[in-house]
Amino acid sequence: MNSAKLLSLSLLGCGLTTAAWAVDFETTQLQTGDITRSIQLLGEVKPYQQITLYAKVSGYVHQVNVEMGDQVKAGRSLLELEVPELVAQEAKAQAELKLAEVEAKHVREAAAKAPELVTQQALDVAEAHLLVAQAQHTQIQTLINFSHITAPFNGTITRRMVDPGAFVPAATSNNPSSQAALLTLTDASRLRIQAAVPEYEASLVSLGQAFTFTIDGAKPRTLQATVTRHSHSLDQTTKTLLVEAEVVNPDDALQPGTFANVKLGIETHRHTNLLPIAAVVMEKATAVAFVYQQGKASRRVLKVGFTDGVHYEVLSGLGPEDKVLVVGTATVTDGQAVNLAAK
């Protein structure tokens, strides 16, 4: 004899009818809709673009025009280097260029006045010397231009590594790049939210999938996005697929470098039977629902598919006309007397 019958006999022995102790429940029915299976991932917030600016030429820091946290526009002067050796070389190259121009001019004039006295070879050599002098002068000027560090894009100065007077070596293969680092510029007006999808789920990833992420902290925020791009190839070490969602960050409310709890909608079933999660009871690994039948709860074993935290996908076990009790956290047994709650 089950517990519901024992309770019924006990109450009847006390003079109470079954209807007197019946519990009120709201009911629901199967609905048709779409449901998405999601996976939870640990993601990271990264800036849309970020670079560390290095010195192309050796020199002394003459002036730093920005501080950490400054907002800058593309093209703004950020830092100036003193390059005395290059300045001296530029003066020498300028003098050699003038000399080559004078020599080439004289040879041309002589060839025009007395072509029989000036060979074509002499004219070609003079012109070649002029071209070499021009190239050398342009090269020195180009190197001097590298002493003026400007912002390549709009952003924020997130690191400043040097002060005026410091010697900075050129960033070459012979010098560690860290010694030539000057500033770090970050563009956080847009952000890349990146997460790694395990190998067994990677084949289900596609562009446009729902990408919800939560940033924990003093003021937790949950934002909606979609998969903007993915790597199309698994990482050889971790065997994961890198996915990325791009979001705008106009008020700088999100900070690059923080972790994000990502919920990725990996697979969707459309036009399927859905039941609210509050109407499903999990008995270990078995999904159960209770249907209202003639004043009693009738236990039904369900075959369920996806769940999105709000609904279960019901594959079998219920019909479209069944009135399913919304039991929530209440305890219900098969055959228990129940009432329908007034709506």
pLDDT of res. 343: 65
Q: Per the domain annotation, does 57 fall within a domain? A: no
Confidence at residue 11, expressed as pLDDT on a 0 to 100 scale: 43
Q: Which domain holds residue 295?
A: 3-26+280-340
Share of the chain above pLDDT 90, in %: 75
Do 264 and 212 lie in one domain? The reply is yes
Statement to judge: residues 191 and 252 lie in one domain: yes
Residue 68 lies in a domain: no
Global pTM value: 0.75
Residue 107 lies in a domain: yes
Q: Which residue has tokens 């859905």?
A: 274
- What does the pLDDT read at residue 174? 67
Please write the tens of the pLDDT for every residue from 270-317.
999 999 999 999 999 999 999 999 999 999 999 999 999 899 999 999
Per the prediction, the chain carries an average pLDDT of 89
Residues 236 and 308 in one domain: no
What is the per-residue pLDDT across 188-197, written as a single tens digit (0 to 9) for each? 999 999 999 9
Whether residue 257 is found in the same domain as residue 328 = no
Angle at 163 between CA 162 and CA 164, to 5 degrees: 130
The count of structural domains within the chain is: 3
Residue 136 pLDDT > 70: yes
> What DSSP string runs through 219-278?
S-EEEEEE--EEEEEE-TTT-EEEEEEEEE-TT--S-TT-EEEEEEEEEEEEEEEEEEGG
Whether residues 235 and 292 share a domain: the answer is no
